[in-house]
Amino acid sequence: MAADTDHAKDVIGRAERHQVRLQSALAVLTRRIVQLLGDAPLRDGQLYDLQWAVNARTTIAQLVQEEYLSEIDDIIREYALVADQAEAMLRNYTALAQLDSTVVAQLQQLSFRGLETLGDEFVEAVATQVYANTLTGLPFAQALEQIQQSVDADLGRYAQVALNDGLMDFDRTITTNMSLEAGATEFKYFGPDDSKTRDHCEKYVGKTMTIEEIREAWSDSWSGKREGSPFVVAGGFNCRHRFRPVF
């Protein structure tokens, strides 16, 4: 099997494992937030203590750090392994492929910051929700249900997409950077061609194009498209495709 295909399968598999790890971390986060609310003072089955609600924000932030951000940090540290594998893959096509460790570290930091921002926004949203529910004397059972839904809707959904695209974008960026440094002017678009494949990606899978042809083809619009360089975002959200240099 071609080295580029092996590498692509490894990255896709790693992204899927990351999703599983994130889901597990969020499940633990949900349980711990529920436990926190279980200790909230109640009056006639309703939240009422505003000082407790204010102090809860600090604890929620700590829980997000321990369960969500710590897992994200471990996951993003694996990106260095992906970069090494990308360099090894490109060495099958050009001996000039060379990895810049500084670029790798910077990209890892940017990826972490993006997911960290989601965590910060979640903390503020939940803390505000807890305070508002306490201020209005919302029944405890209803407040609990809202918080549980927030983990899935306000953090889980966005973090899952961001985590998946973060790894894919990282791999594509590293690969393109090394390819351009090695003098590549043509690239082959490759990846899965199955029921999940967008019509746009299906149109170009297996084709070799110049940089100018790629930019022209990616100037169109399609469902799920993301803004950015085609060499980074490929077909859009949750895309499994990438460009490999042709020498």
How does DSSP assign 35-51, residue by residue?
Answer: HHHHTS-EETTEE--HH
- Confidence (pLDDT) at 157: 84
- Confidence (pLDDT) at 246: 94
Query: Which helix or strand (DSSP H or E) is residue 217 part of?
Result: helix 211-217
Q: CA–CA distance from 111 to each of 85, 114, 156, 170, 232 (Å)?
A: 19, 5, 16, 8, 13
SS3 of residue 163 by DSSP: helix
Cβ contact 210:186 at 8 Å: yes
- Confidence (pLDDT) at 184: 96
- Confidence (pLDDT) at 74: 98
CA separation for the pair 11, 226 (Å, rounded): 20
- Cα of 54 vs its chain's centroid, Å: 30
Segments making up each domain of the chain, as ranges: 3-184, 185-247
What pTM did the predictor assign? 0.90
- Confidence (pLDDT) at 131: 92
In the predicted model, residues of the chain with pLDDT beneath 50 are: none
Return the CA Rg of the chain: 22
Q: Which residue in 234, 222, 120, 221 sits closest to 170, CA to CA?
A: 234
Q: For 82-103, what is each residue's pLDDT tens digit?
A: 999 999 999 999 999 999 999 9
Cβ contact 119:154 at 8 Å: no
- Confidence (pLDDT) at 154: 74
- Confidence (pLDDT) at 38: 86
